[in-house]
A and B are shown apart, each in its own frame.
Chain A
Amino acid sequence: MDELTREFLIESQEGLDRMERCLTDLEERPQDTELLGEIFRSVHTIKGTTGFLGFKRLEKLAHAGENLLGLLRDGKLQANQGIITGLLQLMDGLRAILRVIEQAGDEGGGEDGALIERLNELQQVDAVAVPVAMSGAMAVKEAEAPMVHRAAPPVAIAKPVVEVAAASPVAREEAAPAADAPKTRTTAASDSTLRVDVVLLNRMMNLVGELVLTRNQILQATSADPNLTLLSRRLDMVTADLRESVMRARMQPVSNVFSKFPRIIRDLSQALHRKVRLVMEGQETELDKSLLEAIKDPLTHAVRNSLDHGIEPPEVRVAAGKDAEGVLKLRAYQESSHVIIEVSDDGAGIHVEKVRNKAIERGLITAERAAHLGERELLQLIFLPGFSTAEAVTNVSGRGVGMDVVRTNVEKIGGKVELDSRPGKGTTLRLRIPLTLAIIPALIVRSLDQSFALPQGALSELVNIPPDKVATAIEWMDGAPLYRLRGKLLPLVFLDRMLSPAGGSKTREAKDHFIAVLDADGRRFGLVVDGLADPEEIVVKPLSSVLKQVGLYTGATVLGSGDLALILDPGSIASRAGVSMRAEEERGSRQGEEEEVLSMSTEFLLVEAAGRRAAVPLGEVLRIERIPLSRIEYFGYRPVLNFEGQLLPIEDSGGVIAAAEGDLEAQLTVVVCREGQRHVGIAVSHVLDVAKGGDLFEAGTQQAANGVTLLKEQVTGIVELRQVPPLPVTGVAQSMETWSSVPEGVA
């Protein structure tokens, strides 16, 4: 394709993008002559330029559109819903032809007869309704219309700047005040921006990447030489600035993606009979072009979901005491090295019971297992492949691709998806996108005497286990290692074993162990490595296909030391280890069943505290009380319950009380237990069941693992009553005296 045709395509696309924005505004201000002029010009330019290249089909369609738009611009026709819909169809038709030209180089054999006829009809029908003579003389008189454009809005000024992908923010800032000085403004805008080929920008980015690598090496090589240190520090600064600038050149405002939503929402709300007001915030927030491309589809899907499943039909909203018009909000903002994009609605929220039922119905989870999930976990089910909450399959959403695709696409670019939903209040989907892909902060870790890079984005904390603690700190459950991190069990993955199943473990206990706690694919696990080096900014280089097949790496990089390091993919590690984790779990459960027959089994009360399962030995449970939250009092910072005249310390490691704080009508379930001579209460959200627990045995021994049990095929932590600290004696001597002799009435 020659340069001119490419130029033509870009210009025409931009014209249509402008047209789209104007059409949305036109719905609110159907008589705005500036808008009409702008729309007319977009189509007119396409018609005028397409003739040079001989695209007849495009010319014919644009011509039909131009005729209709001419009448509108000259006030001979009033824009109404029918006409705006027709113009949107015109825009789609033109876009479709442009796409064909872009791909095939010619217009293809499509037929636009029906659309052209429709556009002509719109002229006719309404021309009758607004009878205005259309003689040639009249037309000449009306031609004064272009004069109107003398007062063209500042939009026209901002335009050339927005068009330019490479516009630096500085140029943009300059363009804005320039708008105040009509004499020079246009010159300023067109002079201060350039069109730059994306291929060239990508090449610049790669070169800057190479420069960053070289800088890292020079910094290390020169650190000993005081003469060179100053120079290399300067090089460091300049490189950082240069990198920043090139990155900025690749940035585009999210409005490039947001701008298509008014149209989508207009069409969808009509199709679904919803009343929706779109609010957009932070459209000027900038994001790397390739990332912006990547989030386009996930975002569209999220918006469709909000309309289809979130915002209720007007009559339902009114019945629920809400405004008939729903609000859909798109918001973008930067948070350190991430851009957050939120799609939120004030709709019905996600019904967790429906989610539960649907997941069971779809066979994504067993009914038994689903019964044990808390709200948070249930919400996560939405991200499973093959899940859709649409009760009826519409052509809007519920087409088999769902939130799993959204999550996969966002995670592919190193982002994260978060979901918040409050029944009756609405749903917020948050996409957390890294600012750029090419250079990422990473922690360098050592294993098998090699360096590996671990992306900081997935890293939540680091834990060191000194050599003498290794044997006790790492617990084993049927071959699967676990670490107890602040009372929660963290599955561990030994990097050396995963990479080289034969090697590794011989000297395991004699050295420091480092656990990198990672979050990936909604799962948290600890990656055990031999050593940690400094964090570095690494440049992601693509992998050769051989290494790609391994599946554990996202890329490679050259470290400051000059060494090559592979970049680990926490998601892949999690899923590979997850397979074995599940396998271990199954094996564990089988063994559990055997043990149940062979040896004693304890019965447990299975409870849920703020979404987490826990087991309380049934033998210790005295009674279960349901109380209003307001009855909880505080002794120092510790929650206590005045229970039949006695002070009962409440253990709330699950955070149930904190979660319900502020809700005056919240109810709380307290499991009252006996612990030695005293009684303690455990705050829980629900009591789920009573079940027999299988003891878990350490591999190769007959010693039962402490603190965990197998309940309903799930490894469940046992609440350690002994660890609930007694209340301090001072100040409550009166109460404490009676403590040790709690009357039997409690039980």
Chain B
Amino acid sequence: MRALIVDDSRFVRDYLRGLLEEKGIECDEAADGQAGLTRIHDSEEFDLALLDWNMPVMGGLDMLKNLRAEGYHEVKVMMVTTEAENDFILRALDAGADEYLMKPFDSEALSEKLAMLGLEEI
């Protein structure tokens, strides 16, 4: 299984990668929505994309909208948000997000959400 982590914070990318790889999920990263889209265009299929909300160049919501508009429906999208962005979750779900994860989170919280998507393998 492959996941794409899109977040402008290196810290968050490293943290997420650590947790996901522990669970046997292969990871790729991008630092903004634009780069995230490019990754998806260029690479083999991703099963999951974890998108930060607020990023330079292109935010997570726009990346999600673009992704769905371009016909990538099979990629599961999990919005990774902070409390401040929580009010917007409904809009993300409207735009085609599958799940959301609130920062800060730990391994357990991530597992729960992955399980909701039917993705956790271990």
Residues of A within 8 A of B (CB): 3-4, 7-8, 11, 37-38, 40-41, 44-45, 47-49, 51-52, 66, 70, 136, 139-140, 143, 146-147, 149-150, 152, 156, 159-160, 182-184, 186-187, 190
Is the pair B56, A152 in contact by a Cβ cutoff of 8 Å?
yes
Question: What is the distance, in angstroms, from B52's C-beta to the closest C-beta of chain A?
Answer: 8
Beyond known contacts A143-B85, A150-B58: 17 more, CB 8 A cutoff = A7-B11, A11-B10, A41-B55, A41-B56, A44-B84, A48-B12, A48-B82, A49-B11, A51-B103, A52-B15, A70-B84, A136-B87, A146-B62, A156-B56, A156-B57, A186-B30, A187-B39
Is the pair B87, A186 in contact by a Cβ cutoff of 8 Å?
no
- Which chain B residue shows the least CB distance to A146? B59
Question: What is the distance, in angstroms, from B113's C-beta to the closest C-beta of chain A?
Answer: 16
6 shortest interchain CB distances as A-B pairs: A51-B104, A146-B59, A186-B35, A156-B56, A52-B104, A48-B82
B111 at the interface (CB under 8 A from A): no
- Which chain B residue shows the least CB distance to A67? B84
Is the pair A183, B38 in contact by a Cβ cutoff of 8 Å?
yes
Question: What is the distance, in angstroms, from B43's C-beta to the closest C-beta of chain A?
Answer: 11
- The digit string for B97-121, where 1 denotes a CB below 8 A from any CB of A, is 0000001110000000000000000
Most buried by A among B9, B15, B53: B9
5 interchain pairs, CB-CB under 8 A:
A51-B82, A52-B12, A146-B62, A149-B59, A190-B31
Q: Which residues of B contact A47 (CB under 8 A)?
A: 82, 84
Given A49-B9, A156-B57, decide whether A186 and B31 contact each other with a Cβ distance below 8 A: yes
Partner among A41, A152, A159, A187 whose Cβ is within 8 Å of the Cβ of B35: A187
Q: How far is the CA of A150 from the CA of B59 in the complex (A)?
A: 8
Question: What is the distance, in angstroms, from A443's C-beta to the closest C-beta of chain B?
Answer: 47
Is the pair A11, B9 in contact by a Cβ cutoff of 8 Å?
yes
Partner among B10, B56, B87, B91 whose Cβ is within 8 Å of the Cβ of A149: B56
Q: Which residues of A contact B18 (CB under 8 A)?
A: 4
**Interface size (B, Cβ < 8 Å)?**
33
Partner among B15, B32, B59 whose Cβ is within 8 Å of the Cβ of A147: B59
Question: What is the distance, in angstroms, from B119's C-beta to the closest C-beta of chain A?
Answer: 22
Is the pair B38, A41 in contact by a Cβ cutoff of 8 Å?
no
- Which chain B residue shows the least CB distance to A59? B104
Number of A-B contacts (CB under 8 A): 95
Is the pair B84, A4 in contact by a Cβ cutoff of 8 Å?
no
Is the pair B56, A38 in contact by a Cβ cutoff of 8 Å?
yes
Q: Which residues of B contact A190 (CB under 8 A)?
A: 31, 35
- Which chain B residue shows the least CB distance to A136? B87
Question: What is the distance, in angstroms, from B97's C-beta to the closest C-beta of chain A?
Answer: 14
Is the pair A149, B103 in contact by a Cβ cutoff of 8 Å?
no
Is the pair A184, B58 in contact by a Cβ cutoff of 8 Å?
no
Q: How far is the CA of A70 from the CA of B8 in the complex (A)?
A: 18
Which residues of chain B from 71 to 106 have any CB-CB distance to chain A below 8 Å in the complex? 82, 84-85, 87-88, 91, 103-105
Q: How far is the CA of A716 from the CA of B15 in the complex (A)?
A: 73
- The digit string for B57-68, where 1 denotes a CB below 8 A from any CB of A, is 111011000000
Is the pair B88, A150 in contact by a Cβ cutoff of 8 Å?
no
- The digit string for B33-60, where 1 denotes a CB below 8 A from any CB of A, is 0110011000000000000011111110
- Which chain A residue shows the least CB distance to B41? A183
B26 at the interface (CB under 8 A from A): no
Q: Which residues of B contact A38 (CB under 8 A)?
A: 56
Is the pair B32, A8 in contact by a Cβ cutoff of 8 Å?
no
Question: What is the distance, in angstroms, from A625's C-beta to the closest C-beta of chain B?
Answer: 74
Q: How far is the CA of A143 from the CA of B18 in the complex (A)?
A: 31
Question: What is the distance, in angstroms, from B10's C-beta to the closest C-beta of chain A?
Answer: 5
- Which chain A residue shows the least CB distance to B59? A146
